[in-house]
A and B are shown apart, each in its own frame.
Chain A
């Protein structure tokens, strides 16, 4: 069955960067776009951007351009998101999700806490 396994929680200092992973299994990784979604504490969801593993093509929400970098490693069926120049506003849970007819499959989320 389809699974998306995300990396564990991260505590990072303001101004630093963090890179999180999303390992896919149970389907052909290169056939589906992978999106990333942010959920700030107790709040709604924001779409950050997406990557097509087959080509590396990306699309971003303007709000996250310059903040998020999306990459993939096809050899390990893993998608990555790096967030740079972190501030307290970046503290949130980040989800990866596989596109198709809707976001049918989600990772368990990675909690990022930005604190000195």
Chain B
């Protein structure tokens, strides 16, 4: 199975600061059709995960533009500029290029 390694495990932040989360894959996530199926989810405490980004850099409907996904191949990053209180929680990267689809272990965005 494809292993997604997220760093850091926890990211202490001050509100208004920028945060950055890395997701590295054990193999390239470029599908044979040319698409890269790398997604980002946020799970707030006590809630279901919610989709932020699909295909590396596309924001899901309603997701603020302070969330920016980037990367290629096996190296991806989620940047959150101007962190707000509602951004706190656990972020997961997810790949659907290879079978079975797999999630990273998560990065907890928390207040300093």
Q: A2-39 vs B: 1/0 string, CB under 8 Å?
A: 00000000000000000000000000000000000100
Q: With A and B bound together, what is the CA distance between A44 and B105 in angstroms? A: 5
Interface residues of B in 63-112 (CB under 8 A from A): 92, 94, 99-106
- Residue contact B100 to A44, C-beta cutoff 8 Å: no
Nearest CB on B from A24, distance (A): 15
Contacts of A46 in B (CB 8 A): 103
For B105, the closest partner residue in chain A by CB is A44
Q: Tally the A-B contacts, defined by beta carbons under 8 Å.
A: 47
A45 in contact with B58 given A103-B41, A106-B49, A109-B48 (CB within 8 Å): no
A102-B48 in contact given A44-B92, A46-B103, A62-B100 (Cβ < 8 Å): no
Contact check: which of A61, A103, A109 meets B100 at CB < 8 Å?
Answer: A61
Contact partner of A44 among B55, B60, B103, CB < 8 A?
A: B103
Give every chain B residue within 8 A of A109 (Cβ-Cβ). 48
User: Which of B101, B103, B106 is packed against the most chain A CB atoms within 10 Å?
Assistant: B101
- Smallest beta-carbon distance B58→chain A, Å: 7
Known interface pairs A102-B39, A102-B60, A104-B60. Does A45 touch B49 (Cβ–Cβ under 8 Å)? Answer: yes
By a beta-carbon cutoff of 8 Å, the part of chain A in contact with chain B is 37, 44-47, 59-63, 95, 101-104, 106-109
6 tightest CB-CB pairs across the interface, nearest first?
A102-B54, A106-B48, A61-B100, A45-B103, A47-B101, A102-B51
Chain B residues within 8 Å of A, Cβ to Cβ: 39, 41, 48-51, 53-55, 58, 60-61, 92, 94, 99-106
6 A-B pairs with C-beta separation under 8 A: A45-B92, A46-B103, A95-B48, A102-B60, A103-B41, A106-B48
Known: A46-B103, A60-B100. 19 other contacts (CB 8 A): A44-B92, A44-B103, A44-B104, A45-B103, A47-B100, A59-B99, A61-B101, A62-B100, A63-B100, A101-B54, A101-B60, A102-B51, A102-B53, A102-B54, A103-B41, A104-B60, A104-B61, A107-B48, A109-B48
